[in-house]
Amino acid sequence: MADSPVKLVKGTGSNFASTGTTTLNLPFVRDLQSRKSANLINIPLPGSDSTERIAFDLLGVTREISFSGEYVSGATSSIENFTTDLDNLVFGGQGNTSGGQVGYICTIPQKASTFRVFVNDANWTMRQADPETVEYSVTLYEVSSSSG
């Protein structure tokens, strides 16, 4: 994939250290995956074959978006800021703050899509052999398909 970074945008609040803005660009994305699931409850009928089942859609549909990439920098402070920003993507108040949903707006240029998301996990690895490169991965859960 060409370097069209996935963008995560915060609402009001502090800026990202690596950009100085409310937008964090996650560059050189590879392995972009989207998994949409109906979360069906699948129950066999008592005393029947496996072809006789009941499926319930009680939990609704979820989408999990995951991707990995690498951040390359020639400055130690830039790598420190980027890894700090990745660590700070996951925080305890995303799911419910004063009765409302928080989270991020995620733009995925490869899909021409924008989602309101929560960050489930963010991971990074620094290799001693290449101290100017950080490999990272992020997993998001979609909350809505629009930024509104």
Domain map (residue ranges) of the chain: 6-144
Q: Return the structure tokens found at 17.
A: 């250290």
| pLDDT for residue 145 | 63
CATH hierarchy code of domain 6-144: 2.40.30.200
| pLDDT for residue 42 | 87
Q: What is the mean pLDDT of residues 1-27?
A: 82
| pLDDT for residue 124 | 96
Residue of higher predicted confidence among 94 and 121: 121
Q: What is the mean pLDDT of residues 80-89?
A: 92
| pLDDT for residue 143 | 84
Residues found in the chain: 148
pLDDT in tens, 97-146: 565 666 889 998 877 788 889 999 999 999 889 888 999 999 999 987 65
| pLDDT for residue 66 | 94
Q: pTM for the full model? A: 0.80
Q: Return the structure tokens found at 8.
A: 């995560």
The HSE-up count of residue 78 (CA atoms within 13 Å, CB side) is: 11
| pLDDT for residue 148 | 45
Residue closest to 18 by CA, chosen among 74, 66, 81, 83: 81
pLDDT in tens, 24-81: 999 998 888 989 999 888 888 888 887 888 888 888 889 999 999 999 987 778 999 9
Query: Has residue 94 got a pLDDT over 90?
Result: no
